[in-house]
Amino acid sequence: MSTPEHLPLVLILCTGNSCRSHMAEGILRAASRGRFSVASAGSKPAGYVHPLSIRALAEIGIDISSHTSKHMNDFLKQDVETVITVCGNADQACPMYPGQVSRHHWPFVDPAHAQGSEEEIMAVFRRVRDEIRRVFEAYALGRLDQMAVKS
């Protein structure tokens, strides 16, 4: 996974890299306005992106259908400016990356564990998506403000 060399990389980690981290990646990439790179990975990648995550983001106009599940070690040779973990397991397993300046831990419920009817499960995906959206859009606005001050 490569990112443009001149842009700071924000890496979002969770355990399976199938739901939360991909939703956060899609939302943050859209909110970043191309000013920083965004990627996601997992400590134990599931090997797929959950279809309901793809659907939940499509409902807000963000396409993550081409995303793939990646291992966090795939990024060990890249400069990762910021690491954001979205679950406790990834927070505990997270290594230090070259160039890492900051790290944040913002845990969210894993919607992949939701139970009930299809609509009840989808409601959990929407709720988690909306929580992730609030946090990551606010983070992006703060980063963009910070970048504007420095330039």
Predicted TM-score of the model (pTM): 0.91
Reference 64, options 31, 35, 22; nearest CA is 22
Q: Report if residue 147 sits inside a domain.
A: no
pLDDT given for residue 107 in this prediction: 93
Active site residues: 14, 87, 94
pLDDT at 80: 92
How many other CB atoms are there within 10 angstroms of residue 41's CB atom? 23
Q: What are phi and psi of 103, to 5 degrees?
A: -145, 135
Cβ 111 vs Cβ 125: under 8 Å: yes
Within-domain flag for 99:
yes
DSSP H helical segments within the chain, as ranges?
A: 20-31, 51-58, 88-93, 118-150
Domain membership of residue 32 (yes or no) is yes
Amino acid (one-letter) located at 23: M
Number of Cβ atoms within 10 Å of the Cβ of 8: 19
The per-residue pLDDT for 90 is: 65
Return the pLDDT at 1: 45
Q: What is the pLDDT along the chain (151 residues), one digit of tens a residue?
A: 444 557 899 999 999 999 999 999 999 999 999 999 999 999 999 999 999 999 999 999 999 999 999 999 999 989 999 999 998 776 677 777 877 789 999 999 999 999 999 999 999 999 999 999 999 999 999 999 888 887 6
Q: Is residue 148 part of a domain?
A: no
On whether the CB atoms of residues 45 and 90 are closer than 8 A, the answer is: no
Domain that holds residue 138: 9-142
Residue 1 in domain: no
CATH code of the domain in which 114 resides: 3.40.50.2300
- Tally the domains of the chain: 1
Question: Is 107 inside a domain boundary?
Answer: yes
How far apart are alpha carbons 84 and 74 in whole angstroms?
A: 16
Structural domain includes residue 86: yes
Decide if 128 is inside a domain: yes
